[in-house]
């Protein structure tokens, strides 16, 4: 089974009539995701593409459709309120695609969501894809194939690159999840590794990290102490200059713990092979699966 989403996931799209929300809602619908509602304040009683009902609030959408998952395509200025609203409405999984939300705001949002028993993936993330089952977010469906390798990443574009490399090599995926690269994220590597470890359909895991923070070191400890399934990793940013932000708000090296070299050393010390290049991931996956 996939983690977090499956064929029965019922999705409400916050911001479904906006440029990004409408485009990706159509992509999700085309993939077979159960997009049961949209939410745009002031546009209640409309229908998106003549089929998906639009509501003024998430609470109305949940009550009318039984939605259990929300994906948020709302501008940064309004995204925190959209995340709060989803958590208050009984949504179990909130996927925050929006980038540019202030860190101090996200500190409050993450705590609020957790206190209400929901899970937040993101913000500033590509979301999730369970190949052949469901897509919540912006990961291109055509690059993935059903299989037994879980993929978790801080980088959206590297997720796409490595998933496509796996698919071209005939290695399918159980779930692909982009947790986002911001300093404050609702779901961590550790959360995903624990979920993959418990998933009977995941046989191996690919972890894609990057410079900044200590998430990869924490993941390494979990892979060493609490995972029986094989894993491989790739750490981006090996040539990044110290003190310069590289892509994500969280991808900035401010001390030795945040460097690619330190992260690679920690992951390798946990017995997990680290690819030198994204294209090397396929070979490492084959090796660890054959040795299992």
17 in the same domain as 68: yes
Confidence (pLDDT) at 227: 97
State pLDDT tens for residues 130-142: 999 999 999 999 9
Confidence (pLDDT) at 291: 87
160 in the same domain as 74: no
Distances (CA, A) of 41 to 132, 151, 158, 210: 32, 35, 35, 37
Look up the domain containing 155 and give its range.
139-290
Question: Can you tell me the mean pLDDT for 93-101?
Answer: 97
Decide if pLDDT at 249 tops 60: no
Confidence (pLDDT) at 212: 86
- Is 214 inside any structural domain? yes
115 in the same domain as 146: no
Arithmetic mean of pLDDT over the chain = 94
Decide if pLDDT at 252 tops 60: no
Confidence (pLDDT) at 238: 80
Question: Can you tell me the mean pLDDT for 262-268?
Answer: 95
Question: Can you tell me the mean pLDDT for 248-276?
Answer: 81
234 in the same domain as 161: yes
Report the percent of the chain where pLDDT is more than 90. Answer: 87
217 in the same domain as 111: no
Residue 84 maps to which CATH number? 3.40.50.720
273 in the same domain as 145: yes
- Per the annotation, the verdict on 24 as an active-site residue is no
Phi-psi region of 81 (alpha: psi -120 to 50; beta: other; left: phi over 0): alpha
Confidence (pLDDT) at 255: 57
Decide if pLDDT at 241 tops 80: no
- Is 144 inside any structural domain? yes
Confidence (pLDDT) at 245: 56
- Is 28 inside any structural domain? yes
55 in the same domain as 148: no
- Is 195 inside any structural domain? yes
Query: Of the candidates 247, 257, 147, 153, which has an alpha carbon nearest to the alpha carbon of residue 207?
Result: 153
Decide if pLDDT at 171 tops 60: yes
What confidence tier does 242 reach under pLDDT thresholds 50, 70, 90? low
Residue 232 maps to which CATH number? 3.40.50.261
- Is 2 inside any structural domain? no
- Is 4 inside any structural domain? no
Among residues 24, 135, 154, 248, the one annotated as catalytic is: 248
* Pairing verdict, β 52-55 and 127-130: unpaired
Query: Of the candidates 256, 170, 174, 163, which has an alpha carbon nearest to the alpha carbon of residue 213?
Result: 256
285 in the same domain as 148: yes
State pLDDT tens for residues 269-287: 999 999 999 999 999 999 9
267 in the same domain as 188: yes
- Is 130 inside any structural domain? no
154 in the same domain as 219: yes
Report the percent of the chain where pLDDT is more than 70. Answer: 93
160 in the same domain as 116: no
Domain boundary among 121, 155, 175: 121
Question: Can you tell me the mean pLDDT for 183-195?
Answer: 96
Residue pair 144/206 in contact by the 8 Å Cβ criterion: no
220 in the same domain as 255: yes
Confidence (pLDDT) at 239: 72
- Is 226 inside any structural domain? yes
State pLDDT tens for residues 99-114: 999 999 999 999 999 9
For the ranges 51-65, 107-121, 203-217, 229-243, the lowest mean pLDDT is seen at 229-243
What confidence tier does 258 reach under pLDDT thresholds 50, 70, 90? confident
Domain boundary among 88, 121, 154: 121
Give the Cα separation of 17 and 57 in Å (integer).
14
What confidence tier does 213 reach under pLDDT thresholds 50, 70, 90? confident
State pLDDT tens for residues 22-73: 999 999 999 999 999 999 999 999 999 999 999 999 999 999 999 999 999 9
Query: How many domains would you assign to the chain?
Result: 2
Domain boundary among 121, 155, 176: 121
């Amino acid at each position: 089974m996939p983690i977090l989403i499956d064929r029965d996931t019922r999705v409400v799209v916050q911001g479904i009539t906006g440029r990004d929300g409408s485009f990706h809602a159509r992509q999700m619908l085309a993939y077979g995701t159960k997009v049961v509602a949209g939410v745009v304040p002031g546009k209640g009683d409309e229908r998106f593409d003549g089929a998906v009902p639009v509501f003024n609030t998430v609470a109305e959408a949940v009550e009318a459709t039984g939605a259990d998952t929300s994906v948020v395509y709302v501008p940064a200025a309004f995204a925190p309120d959209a995340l709060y609203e989803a958590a208050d409405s009984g949504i179990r999984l909130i996927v925050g695609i929006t980038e540019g939300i202030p860190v101090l705001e996200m500190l409050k949002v993450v705590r609020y969501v957790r206190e209400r028993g929901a899970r937040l993936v993101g913000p500033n993330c590509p979301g999730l894809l369970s190949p052949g089952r469901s897509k919540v977010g912006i990961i291109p469906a055509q690059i993935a194939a059903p299989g037994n390798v879980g993929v978790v990443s801080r980088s959206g574009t590297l997720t796409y690159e490595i998933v496509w490399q796996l698919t071209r090599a005939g290695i399918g995926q159980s779930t692909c999840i982009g947790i986002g690269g911001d300093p404050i994220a609702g779901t961590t590597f550790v959360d995903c590794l624990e979920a993959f470890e418990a998933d009977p359909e995941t046989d191996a895991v690919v972890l894609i990290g990057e410079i900044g923070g200590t998430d990869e070191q924490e993941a390494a400890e979990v892979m060493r102490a609490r995972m029986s399934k094989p894993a491989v990793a790739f750490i981006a940013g090996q040539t990044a200059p110290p003190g310069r932000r590289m892509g994500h708000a969280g991808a900035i090296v401010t001390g030795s713990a945040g460097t690619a070299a330190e992260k690679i050393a920690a992951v390798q010390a946990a017995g997990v092979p680290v690819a030198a290049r994204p294209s090397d991931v396929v070979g490492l996956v084959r090796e660890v699966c054959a040795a299992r």
